[in-house]
Chains A and B, each alone.
Chain A
Amino acid sequence: MTTTNISPSRFLAQDNVYLPHIAVIERIIEETPGIRTLHFNFKDKKLGEEFTFKSGQFGEYSVFGIGEAPFCISSSPTRRDHLEFTAQRVGRVTNALHRLGVGAEIGFRGPYGNSFPLGYLQGKNLVFVGGGIGLAPLRSLIWNVIDNRDKYKNIALIYGARSPADLCFKYDLDAWGKNKTIKSVTTVDRGDESWTGKVGVVPKILEEVAPSAKNAVAIVCGPPIMIRFTFPVLTKLEFTPEQMLTTLEKRMKCGIGKCGRCNIGNIYVCRDGPVFTYAQIKSFVSSEY
């Protein structure tokens, strides 16, 4: 199994790979006080129709005059009336993104990187493990899977955030909760008066839910600390390193393996990732991860 099915992004209307396409913000959803999802479409309609991407891929988004930052495309390629990405307010570019309103123009380059290996996932039981904003890349895949439901076996989702207010994509969680073909568990580290769901950190709840490793793949995405505690739990549940997938986050500028900063071992996360198996991650250079 390999996830590094990389080939250059073909969505390059210009010869210059660094030139962004102009995109227009169409809708903004405030997920939590510091996280928002932006819906956008390309300004050039024809370009928008030509655009293709896969779940797990990312783009470089520009706020002109402020800079560029990478975010995964958080919508599913099966739902293409617009594209979505989700940004947490943590730095210069994301602060600027949080100041934008509907109608604002941003730049987009991409899609970049590899993607979730759909071929490998088909016919398997899928266990999604997400934390906080880490649901964004999973969500693209989850909708993708739901829209091709018959190709996959059982689906489980264990998603958590620090508090009920920090849960992202509540509208999706609602929809998946009602979907009889998915087992969806939502948890928070600390609840409040109105919270009736589970309380506990994601790895702990994962251990409780204890999905079977048989013919299964776990797809994990969340803050680094959650990922580090989740892999041992999965191992305990007898998932092999090849059965665990995650997306890595590194600082990126160019998005195409040139500028150097997302290098770990002999891979560039932007170009060869961001989706890796735990087996791959362990093999890079362990102390770098």
Chain B
Amino acid sequence: MTNNKKVNKKDIGKLLSQWSQEFAVFVPSIESGVATMARWEGKDTSFLDWYRNTVIPPKANFLPPMEEMFSFRKDREGYNIELPPNGGKQLIFGIRPCDARALAIIDANFKDLYQDPYYLPRRSSAVLIGVGCTNPYDSCFCTSLGISPAESADVDLMLTDIGDEFLVEEVTDKGKKLTAKTSGLKEATKDDETRAKEIKETSYNKVTRKINAEGIVDKLLASFDDQDYWEKVAAKCISCGICTLLCPTCYCFDINDELVRQQGARFRSWDSCAFPLYTKMPMENPRQEKWRRVRQKVCHKFGFFPMNLNIIACTGCGRCIRLCPVNWDITQVLESVPVREAKPQIH
């Protein structure tokens, strides 16, 4: 006897059906050629066969590309503000450990000092069911950031592919509560666990791309003012927003209003430090030049964010490398940071 459960792969559909009673269930899907977490239609579980990771990161389920913050209407009394209705509870099935960690990283930002009233309720009401990644891409480098492709503390339940079955580990109380009311799970055996352990190790070793994250904060700060270096690194960047908008840890957003005939709404939408407009003020722009923006992206993720919140804002999912139109590769960039004596760290 073990603490863990298991489920036959054939029965995944049944589990999802049960969960659909309570949650809006999202699974990896291909919509018009783009892999994304989409509402489960109630039958197909073939994603278990083809799916490696989604193009659209699961952050989109919690921080959508565009959302209404509130609407307003003007009448004789003045402006009235109305909040949009709360969404339902989400269950994300099949999230990879890198993306689950990424959500934890975004959580840190949205919890820091002020509580974000849109993102956080969605997160706290959601259940994450991780599925271990047994076939990482050649762009993946999660293991360099303390993540194992088939293990996660950032999900509620963690599934590992052990052949015809998944081993189901209860990671959180929320996960425990879910399995308690889920039928169709069997008790896992010691053999299942041994098998899962092997799978996890094999998966870990399949991640071959590496970065040296140790001391990266100091290394970057020491080279922060090295304009020549940053210009070289930025040369081929085209300042599009792919690497940031589709980064599972990037959370920057823009706020915009719209008004049509006395009625309007305020929206927030994904924004990117790659865009010159991101920091543009009427009179000046601190990051007009491309190299400054590229530097900001790298240094925010690997320097400033960990300085503040003690975690590197990158999980090695490799999307930015895989999707970049010019193959700008963050791992090569980090490798090439000149080695210098560190400036004293400041806070």
A residues engaging B (CB < 8 A)? Answer: 6, 8, 15-20, 22, 43, 62-68, 90-91, 94, 105, 107, 223-224, 249-251, 253-254, 256-266, 271, 283-289
Contact = CB atoms under 8 A, between A and B. Distances in A.
A91 B79 contact: no
Interface residues of B, number: 52
A43 B114 contact: no
Contact of A250 (B74, B253, B281): B281
A91 B118 CA distance: 28
Contacts of A256: 113-114
B81 A43 contact: no
Interface in B35-83: 69-70, 72, 74, 78-79, 81, 83
Interface in B88-147: 109-110, 112-118
A283 B307 CA distance: 14
Contacts, number: 126
Interface of A is mostly: loop
B257 A68 contact: yes
Contacts of B69: 18
28 contacts: A8-B113, A16-B117, A20-B81, A22-B78, A22-B81, A63-B257, A64-B72, A65-B257, A65-B258, A66-B259, A67-B255, A68-B266, A91-B282, A224-B284, A251-B281, A256-B114, A258-B109, A258-B116, A259-B253, A259-B271, A261-B278, A262-B279, A263-B304, A266-B307, A266-B346, A266-B347, A288-B224, A288-B286
Contacts of B266: 18, 62, 68
Contacts of B110: 258
B280 interface: yes
Interface string B170-203: 0000000000000000000000000000000000
Nearest to A286: B225
Contact of B346 (A6, A16, A22, A284): A284
Contacts of B278: 251, 261
Contact of B79 (A18, A22, A289): A22
B304 A64 contact: no
